[in-house]
Amino acid sequence: MTKVLIALTCYNDTFYADGTKTGVFVVEALHPFNYYKEQGYDVDFVSETGKYGFDEHSLSADFLSGKDKEQFEDKNSAFNQALAKTKVAADVNPSTYKIFFASAGHGTLFDYPTAKNLQKIASDIYANNGVVAAVCHGPAIFDGLTDKDTGKPLIQGKVITGFTDIGEEILGVADILKQKKLDTVEDIAKKYHAKYMAPIGPWDDFSIADGRLVTGVNPASASSTAKRTVQVLNSLN
């Protein structure tokens, strides 16, 4: 059975101007989980420390409603059962997984760039001819992530997308990011000489693949990003 590893941010602290916390953006973990399970894949969750917490904005009706909300609130759902077994990154054997999917939330900007064990897992999966993906702020994982075969940054010279700087402005967090000296996805793309591709609109469903590297731009793109990883994986066989 094909195994997928979904990474979670372990950062869960006050971030927004209204005093609420950031952390895992629920649907950016839930939608990929559901898609992979529908494909018959085995899915595990992992964070650098094995801990996680949710972005409080992602729990609002604007982002979590209907069946998503029901699944999230059902303690016995497959999603919550998998979350309860979230792995510590240092304990994971990368050779058993074919897809690494970095879920998001602004929390990733705090911990993914220094999450060396998560980055090692992604690097190993990529080196083993697997697929590495990230959605929204998930590309923060690429800050310091190297391609084992070349020794160069994994995204160097590649085309990626991720949450837009315009989106940060619209959300009213651009100044907060500057104050906390956090790089945006566009900053990271520039830093490692990747080509950043923006969607027409910051809230559009938009995902792209450059070889075995797959990225998506926002919560609405979480499912399409996961779907694209499966298409890429199938094309390798």
Assign a CATH topology to domain 3-235.
Rossmann fold (3.40.50)
Q: Is 112 left (phi over 0), alpha (psi -120 to 50) or beta?
A: alpha
The confidence band for 70, taking pLDDT boundaries of 50, 70 and 90, is very high
Q: What pLDDT is stored for residue 151 in this prediction?
A: 96
pLDDT digits (tens, 9 = 90+) for 51-69: 999 999 999 999 999 999 9
pTM here is: 0.98
Instruction: Encode 131-165: b = buried (16+ Cβ within 10 Å), e = exposed.
Output: bbbbbbbbbbbbbbbbbeeeeebbbeebbbbbbbb
Q: What pLDDT is stored for residue 231 in this prediction?
A: 98
Active site annotation includes 10: no
Q: What pLDDT is stored for residue 27 in this prediction?
A: 98
Residues 76-99 have a mean pLDDT of: 98
pLDDT digits (tens, 9 = 90+) for 1-44: 899 999 999 999 999 999 999 999 999 999 999 999 999 999 99
Measured distance CA(100)–CA(132) in Å, rounded = 5
Active site annotation includes 136: yes
Q: Give me the percent of the chain exceeding a pLDDT of 70.
A: 100
**Domain locations along the chain:** 3-235
Residues 166-170 have a mean pLDDT of: 97
Measured distance CA(137)–CA(25) in Å, rounded = 10
The confidence band for 129, taking pLDDT boundaries of 50, 70 and 90, is very high
Q: What pLDDT is stored for residue 1 in this prediction?
A: 86
Q: Which residues pair with 159 in a beta bridge?
A: 195
Name the active-site residue from 106, 137, 169, 186.
137
CB atoms within 10 A of CB 124: 17
Q: What pLDDT is stored for residue 138 in this prediction?
A: 98
At residue 199, does pLDDT exceed 80? yes
Name the active-site residue from 28, 48, 168, 186.
168
Residue 223 has phi, psi (to 5 degrees) of -70, -45
Name the active-site residue from 31, 48, 106, 136.
136
